[in-house]
Structure 1
Amino acid sequence: MFQILTHDILPVFAILALGYGLGWRGTFSRAEAAVVNRVSLTLLQPALIFPLVATVPIAEFDVRALALYGLCEAVGFGIAFLIARRMFRREAAEAWMLAMAVVFVNSLLYIWPISFLIYGEAAALPVTALVAWDASLVFGIFIIGAELIANPSAGLSSAGRRIATNPILLAIAAGAVLNISGLPLPAPLITAAEFAGAAAAPLTLFALGVILSQQSLRPSPVVAAISGLKLLAFPALVAAALGIGGVEGRWNDLFTLTAAGPSGAMAFALALLHGVRTDAVAPVIIWTSVLSLISLAWLA
């Protein structure tokens, strides 16, 4: 467990910690990190997601395991949203981001590279399946929901135009069409996407660290509740659903590992992009990132 922590998990986490440290020292400003975050969100992450969705081996997926995990995401999101809205009286847009932080794991930028370091590409197929699932369908739903909730005064037509031109959604759609059609990707396109996509995870984590260094990390009641739902309730829900559903072996182990990961950085990135209050979602990401280190090493 200790070697997995030091050799595979901490090096990825260190990028986030480096950004936090340099932001705290004032070497990089929040405005600079926000620009990097925007570049990553609109350019680098689409380049990372497109070849993933286009080439992922859908026929090899355990559909039952994915369906159960998706059901857990829906249930967990609904519970977290109601808690944020009813118990903590948060506005709808912020409650949306907080609920997203409970079920949308940092799988693409954190768990995926860690799983490849530990298990290799073939053994990490379940994590690849979840990354494709979350990066395409689930993230798409969150992007659309954030657009509609965060900008209600803009109207449906304006929100529709922003959704239709969203780079990540376009990358997801293009990748899905190519995957379903079976058309091969041109080699130069793969090279360009891989070259740009390789920078997505480190740059996003670094920028996130810088931005989070300007936030208070005080574990308020809402931060403690959402972090607890993420680190304890959601993995327990996934493990129970997979056990009841008869999912065994590597799919069970790696789905549970993924569910125990930290809150996805995209909840904060979307909140920042739409001007949504971040004083709760930011500490949630930091606390879950730190507290999940030991649990991830143990489950791996």
Structure 2
Amino acid sequence: MWPIFLKTLPFFGLIGLGWLAARTRFFPQEAAAWLTKFVFYFALSAMLFRFAAGLDLARLFDRRFVMAYLAGSVLVWVLGLVAARARGLPLPEAAMEAQCCMIGNTGFLGVPMLVVLLGERAVGPVLMVLTIDMLVFSTLITLIVHASRRGGLRMASLLGVLGGIVANPMIVSMLAGLAWAWARLPMPQPLDEFLALLGAAATPGALFAIGASLAGRKVQRLAASVWLSFAKLVLHPLAVGVAALFVFGVQPFAAGVMIAAAALPVAGNVYILAQHFGVAQQRVSTAILISTAGSIVTVPVVMLLIGQG
């Protein structure tokens, strides 16, 4: 356990450094927002493009992997939705809580950390998890909120959702990289070095930005947020692990990457959606804070279990 904890400690140390810098106001929130924008549009996009361009497409898509992750995630999503509806919450709030239960910080935390800890073999499975989260579940929550507020879905809503997906730089960079790999284009050395240099800023930049963003969050709606954090850190990796290993028979290494990705804390983009729609912002914000703090312990435990097979 201790060696695993020491391996993950530098990543959470960078998050803590960002939190401290923002908490002491040495690094203002405006700077955190711009740093996040740099990572999102440039550094992380360069990293994702370079990773995707080097993938073997014939081995990337695994139907069992996709079905296992979808089955486990949908189960936890429905559980979160039912629990919220049982408390009398309206559908948009219940759906936002369900989103917290299974959308992990795969982009800013998972891609940099899991690839370093598990090796380049983890790139394909991590990108599959990221793609499913963005294409399936981010689309789902957007459609639910639009439909509940406007009495049904309209073409303008669907076009808006599709436009948001197309404009997402992580989606664009991954698709561009996959197209490069499909065309079997050679990677010129100057371009590869440029992408490697820019992408290298993604890991420290993303982790520092996560910490800085946490400094401005307040602990509110504690009971609900603790439940959402428990669902994300414990129930989600448990559900996808059972689905991957005992139902769909996913290859062990890919299953381990899937479980590790599912063990990540609640993603910041859930709060962006909550803020955009004006739905459950306090609960989502506190769940991000609690789950990120809790993942300092839970992620090493999950990594240890994966290492033990």
Classify the TM-score, shorter chain: 0.7 to 0.9
1:231 maps to 233
2:180 maps to 178
- Using the alignment, how far apart are the partners of 1:35 and 1:4 within structure 2? 32
Is 263-272 or 218-227 further displaced after alignment?
Answer: 263-272
Matched, 1:39 2:38: yes
Mark the CA change 1:96 to 1:110 in structure 2 (over 3 Å): closer, same or farther: same
Alignment equivalent of 1:287, drawn from 290, 293, 299: 290
Q: Provide structure 2 residue ranges, at least 5 long, that are not aligned to the other structure.
A: 304-309
- Using the alignment, how far apart are the partners of 1:140 and 1:50 within structure 2? 17
Mark the CA change 1:39 to 1:145 in structure 2 (over 3 Å): closer, same or farther: farther
Structure 2 letter corresponding to 1:211 = S
Superposed CA RMSD: 3.2
TM-score (norm 1): 0.81
Alignment equivalent of 1:168, drawn from 167, 170, 190: 170
Mark the CA change 1:133 to 1:47 in structure 2 (over 3 Å): closer, same or farther: same
- Could you report, residue by residue, the CA deviation over 1:46-88 in whole angstroms, capped at 9, with x for unpaired residues? 2222222232234335542342112222332233244445636
- Could you report, residue by residue, the CA deviation over 1:243-283 in whole angstroms, capped at 9, with x for unpaired residues? 23334633333433332232233333555677765322222
Matched, 1:128 2:123: yes
Contact 1:46 1:171 in 2 (8 A): yes
Contact 1:52 1:132 in 2 (8 A): no
Structure 1 letter corresponding to 2:284 = V
- Could you report, residue by residue, the CA deviation over 1:188-238 in whole angstroms, capped at 9, with x for unpaired residues? 333333222222232233223222212113462220121111122112211
Q: CA deviation at 1:167?
A: 2.7
Contact 1:260 1:296 in 2 (8 A): yes
Q: CA deviation at 1:90?
A: 5.9
1:70 maps to 70
Contact 2:67 2:248 in 1 (8 A): no
Contact 1:42 1:167 in 2 (8 A): yes
Q: CA deviation at 1:133?
A: 0.7
2:263 maps to 260
- Give the 5 Å matches for 1:1-300: 1-6=1-6, 8-61=7-60, 62-84=62-84, 87=87, 89=89, 92=92, 95-121=94-120, 125=121, 127-142=122-137, 144=139, 155-156=156-157, 157=159, 160-218=162-220, 220-241=222-243, 242-247=245-250, 249-271=252-274, 278-300=281-303
Contact 1:45 1:168 in 2 (8 A): yes
Contact 1:66 1:130 in 2 (8 A): no
Structure 2 letter corresponding to 1:5 = F
SS of 1:56's partner is coil
Contact 1:84 1:222 in 2 (8 A): no
- Using the alignment, how far apart are the partners of 1:258 and 1:162 within structure 2? 24
Contact 1:147 1:163 in 2 (8 A): no
Q: CA deviation at 1:2?
A: 0.6
Contact 1:96 1:146 in 2 (8 A): yes
Q: Percent identity?
A: 24
Q: Provide structure 1 residue ranges, at least 5 long, that are not aligned to the other structure.
A: none
Mark the CA change 1:17 to 1:175 in structure 2 (over 3 Å): closer, same or farther: same
Contact 2:68 2:247 in 1 (8 A): no
Mark the CA change 1:164 to 1:296 in structure 2 (over 3 Å): closer, same or farther: closer
- Using the alignment, how far apart are the partners of 2:104 and 2:118 within structure 1? 19
For this pair of structures, how many residues does the alignment match?
Answer: 294
